[in-house]
Copies of this chain bind each other. A is one copy, B any other.
């Protein structure tokens, strides 16, 4: 007779009293998320949230259904970048995300607190729990892509995301500073511990163009993202400049009106690696 444990991946090692697989929550029953992409950097301020937002917009423009999970609980930027201030709503089935002008679904703690600049003075375990709930208790509905904007570091939130959310791939963001690269290597090694699949490395803030003389100014040093990606055995997705227009649009909450051909190229490379690539759509 077949045991009730037949087929369980831990059958051979467990004592036969293993807990049953947790039931899906109501919100999960109402959701179908095809691809989960985590955007990570290790170091803060290299433009992780900008990259997450640009990727969301780029995918949305190509007709995909996109959601953004803002996992940077103590420093959430996503709602402001998209100009979204409508609070999320909760029902017996779960939390309904807020929606941007163009239909991108967003969950962020800043859409749940009264004032956007109120601090969240919470210890790690509470923060981790919330991030898990952003996955289990949010009615994401049908999404082609859910992007997770991770906070800097390799602490509680990235640990919880890797442990409790089925991340399909990771996009790493770096800047030319060697300091940033060192911290990015830490993050890549962390990803490797969880056997993460890396879609590749974007070198952000690679240069800025002087609007007067068009000179390419490498203000954070010579870019070496390509080398860095190779040294870490992950694909290199390309470089992005510091674009004052982007900072302006992000501050104005109008990221959905921002275009970057360079970024569209990067999106294309990511899409080629995801299971839901354009040809499979």
A residues adjacent to B (C-beta < 8 A): 42-46, 49, 72-75, 77, 80-81, 116-125, 127-128, 151-156, 159, 175, 177-179, 182-183, 185-187, 189-190, 193, 208, 210-213, 215, 217-221, 242, 244, 247-248, 250-251
List B contacts of A117 (CB < 8 A): 182, 185-186, 189
List B contacts of A208 (CB < 8 A): 208, 217, 219
CB distance from A84 to the nearest CB of B (A): 14
Task: Select A44's contact among B75, B177, B193, B250, beta carbons within 8 Å.
Answer: B75
List B contacts of A46 (CB < 8 A): 45
Leading 7 A-B pairs by shortest Cβ distance: A45-B45, A44-B44, A124-B124, A74-B153, A117-B185, A119-B186, A119-B190
A127 near B152: Cβ-Cβ < 8 Å: no
Consensus secondary structure, chain A interface: loop
Given contacts A45-B46, A178-B251, contact A156 B210 (CB under 8 A): no
* Distance A81 CA – B217 CA, assembled complex (angstroms): 22
Quick one: which of A46, A119, A179, A185 has the most chain B CB within 10 A? A119
List B contacts of A210 (CB < 8 A): 210, 212-213, 215, 217
Cβ contacts A to B, 19 pairs, < 8 Å = A42-B74, A43-B45, A44-B44, A44-B75, A45-B152, A74-B154, A75-B154, A80-B178, A117-B186, A121-B155, A121-B159, A121-B193, A124-B125, A124-B156, A177-B250, A213-B213, A219-B242, A220-B247, A221-B244
Given contacts A42-B75, A210-B213, A242-B219, contact A81 B154 (CB under 8 A): no
Which residue of chain B lies nearest to A72 when distances are taken between CB atoms in the complex? B153
A179 near B220: Cβ-Cβ < 8 Å: no
Which residue of chain B lies nearest to A155 when distances are taken between CB atoms in the complex? B74
List B contacts of A190 (CB < 8 A): 119, 121
CB distance from A141 to the nearest CB of B (A): 28
Which residue of chain B lies nearest to A179 when distances are taken between CB atoms in the complex? B77
Q: 13 extra interchain contacts, Cβ-Cβ under 8 A, other than A75-B152, A80-B179, A219-B244?
A: A43-B44, A74-B153, A74-B186, A116-B182, A117-B185, A119-B193, A120-B154, A121-B154, A121-B190, A124-B125, A179-B250, A210-B212, A221-B247
